A = this chain, B = another copy of it.
Amino acid sequence: MMKCMTATKERAAATPADTPRAARRRKRADVRQELVLQAARSAFFELGMEKASLREIARRAGYTPGALYSYFPSKEHLYGALLGESLERLNAQVAQALITESGHGAHLRAAASAFFEFYHANPRDLDLGFYLFQGMAPRGLTPELNTRLNLRLRDALLPCHAALQGLGMDDATATREVTALFAHIVGLLVLRHTGRIRMFGPSSRELFALYLAQLLERAHARDEDHPAGVVHGA
């Protein structure tokens, strides 16, 4: 994942499957790439996007600027990898939250909360997600990467969608609700991060809880009205 492209010769037939030598090498490469990624993350998180230059990232990773190009073909790609990694953590956190819960309602609550809490705890990860769209339009990344990232983001919301369907919503309605939930979370977090919410008093977490309760209410109401053979509460 994110491994970089080199001129792979066909001559490689000499190495049958996966020489321990090659494996060690690759491992070390991965470690170092991870190191660069961490340096990038720390720079990005501490200095913000504008000040997190390649030079700064290289400095933190203990490299010269040019060395980074062994790992990432451009700054955009580095950020792409950063975002990718962030989305992996998000998905992991959501998945983790689900394993101890059972029942659609509990699933919804757990998944949505995990999502919210992830960005609440790591505001810079939210930045990351929006970085590549400064102003308006996606830029820099290859369309494929962009698509992949979008899909991983959607993955993180899938449990909510599934839970809502489990609670009796049809697909279209569930999609609408998930999108609205996502928007609500993003809005709350953006407001909080930008300090714009302080003026109002209520905390973002409170407001999230409130919205979640309303959503559950809506789901259950619908559940009662149209109790079509749903594996309810299982």
Copies in the complex: 4
User: Would you call B150 and A123 a contact (CB within 8 A)?
Assistant: no
- Among listed A16-24, A88-96, A177-185, A222-230, interface-contacting one: A177-185
Residues of B within 8 A of A191 (CB): 179, 182-183, 186
Residues of B within 8 A of A178 (CB): 200
Q: A153-B196, A179-B197, A179-B200 are in contact. List 20 more A-B contacts (CB 8 A).
A: A7-B58, A9-B62, A9-B63, A48-B136, A50-B135, A124-B136, A126-B136, A133-B194, A175-B200, A175-B201, A178-B200, A180-B210, A180-B211, A183-B184, A184-B187, A186-B186, A186-B191, A214-B214, A214-B218, A214-B233
Residues of A within 8 Å of B, CB-based: how many? 66
User: Would you call B137 and A49 a contact (CB within 8 A)?
Assistant: no
Min CB distance, A60 to chain B, in Å? Answer: 9
Which label, helix, strand, loop or mixed, suits the secondary structure of the A interface? Answer: helix
Residues of B within 8 A of A63 (CB): 7, 9
A interface with B by C-beta (< 8 Å): 6-7, 9-11, 47-50, 58-59, 62-64, 123-124, 126-127, 129-130, 133-138, 150-151, 153-154, 172, 175-176, 178-180, 182-188, 190-191, 193-197, 199-202, 204, 206-207, 209-211, 213-214, 217-218, 233-234
Q: A180 CA to B202 CA in the complex, in Å?
A: 9
Closest Cβ neighbor of A172 among chain B residues? B201
- Of A50, A133, A183, A233, the most chain B CB neighbours within 10 A belong to A183
A50 and B134 contact, Cβ closer than 8 Å, known pairs A9-B62, A233-B217: yes
